[in-house]
Amino acid sequence: MGNECAVAVVTGGGRGIGRGIALELAGLGATVVVNYRSDERAADETCRQAIQRGAAAAVAIRADVADLDEGRRLVAESLAVAGRIDLWVNNAGVAPETRLDLLETTQASWDRVLAINLRGPFFLTQTVARTMIEQQAAGIAKAPQIIFITSVSSRYASVNRGEYCVSKAGLSMVAQLFAARLAGQGIRVHEVRPGLIETDMTRPARAAYEHRIREGLVPLARWGTPEDVGRAVAAIASNSLVYSTGSVIDVDGGLGLRIL
């Protein structure tokens, strides 16, 4: 990852896209901290696979990123077990428990989705950024990076999950804000924007999207995988983009192409 025994923290790293990211970072020889909220078994499995893939070490830490106190504890425990943080990946996120028409969206669903997908990552990144600045001042780490995993839903409207779209659109702006604020400190911030990725979250809509993919919705004509997203994160982590910050990397199979 550009420096020996670099430390990467992946929120929501126990399964899905988070696991794909953690394993690709493990392949770079990183020490990987796998954050999870409830499924300890899945997080432990990610750690096991990470070691097999070449991670210097892998440890699971439970914390709910929507809880600001738990988020601060996650940062503190990551430092306690790994000594520093070179890369922070804000990946944890949820979809609405029930897809509802925009006119039927409930306050409870809105509050849940935005707490996990937007409010939590904002304040968590605030804590992480302060920590990275302190690390640099102490000579513990150089040129740390922060990555936000958003979604094509940050720019495509889905009227049966409006709260999710709003949370991801907001998170895209959060990435821009932190990129602008932290550039002077030499901390680079990137946004990775996945498209249709085959995970537990997208399983309920799989049949509908299968048809649309066959009809040409995705130019590369397939679902994305967690590994596809992980490879994009690994490219950033390997310090291949040293003169870039605030960049948006689409991992969507060409979904956003304008084609006549």
Q: What pLDDT digit, counting tens, does each position of 52-90 carry?
A: 999 999 999 999 999 999 999 999 999 999 999 999 999
**DSSP letters along 225-255, please?**
-HHHHHHHHHHHHTT--TT--SEEEEESTTT
To the question of pTM greater than 0.85 for the whole model, the response is: yes
Judge whether 164 counts as a catalytic residue.
yes
Query: Which of 156, 164, 209, 243 is the catalytic position?
Result: 164
Residue 4: other Cβ atoms inside 10 A = 7
Per residue in 187-236, pLDDT tens? Answer: 999 999 999 999 888 777 788 888 899 999 999 999 999 999 999 999 99
Domains of the chain, start order: 7-251 (3.40.50.720)
Nearest to 33 by CA among 92, 94, 65, 77: 77
Distances (CA, A) of 161 to 30, 94, 164, 173: 36, 11, 6, 19
Residue 208 Cα to chain centre, angstroms: 25
Q: Are 165 and 153 in contact (CB under 8 A)?
A: yes
